[in-house]
Amino acid sequence: METIRVFTALAAIVLLSQWSVPAKAAGEITNPQAIGGPRECSARWYPRSAVQHEVEGYVGVSFDIETDGAVTNVAVVQSSGSLELDGAAEACVSKFRYQPAKRDGIAIQVPWVTVVIFCISRECWSGASETAQAIIKAHAVDIHDLKSPAS
């Protein structure tokens, strides 16, 4: 699981991604790996007006990791209730880069889900991990169940 915490005087963002399971046998898929360490949405992605108005929330974001590691098809799958936070989460996630998932050593495209958490208050943080894990569980695809092209 990827977890990032960025603290500023006013705002913090955490990013949780679907957890990784190691491949077990030939034909199984190895998980994509973040390039340069875990993916993060630093505090600069927290919209200034949202901070000023103390808008907080959790944004579930789905995307595909392409064979070259690029992120495509970024979409909000669970809204924070704030278009501003949702847009910031999409913009941030679209900048991520990965080493692609592989099947038998060959890069493949896989779907992925992450949660961007915009929190200022302790109350927001208190249930953040459980809420993020519930969002991921509701929207993640087990990449190890993906069919090979020949199937």
The predicted pLDDT at position 86 comes to: 97
In a domain, 151, yes or no: no
Examine residue 150 and state whether it is found in any structural domain, yes or no. Answer: no
Total domain count for the chain?
1
Name the pTM for this structure.
0.80
Determine, yes or no, domain membership for 32: yes
122 within some domain: yes
Torsion sign (Cα): 102, 107, 109, 115: positive
Q: What's the confidence (pLDDT) of residue 147?
A: 67
pLDDT of residue 90: 96
Within a domain: 71: yes
Mean pLDDT of all residues belonging to the chain: 81
List the chain residues with pLDDT less than 70.
Answer: 1-26, 37-38, 144, 147-151
The 3-state secondary structure of 70-106, one letter per residue: EEEEEEEEECCCCHHHHHHHHHHHCCCEEECEEECCE
Q: Which domain holds residue 19?
A: 3-145
Instruction: Classify residue 7: in a domain, yes or no.
Output: yes
pLDDT given for residue 150 in this prediction: 54
The reported pLDDT for the residue numbered 145 is 72
Q: Domain containing 124 — which CATH number?
A: 3.30.2420.10
Residue 93 within a domain: yes
Domain for residue 20, yes or no?
Answer: yes
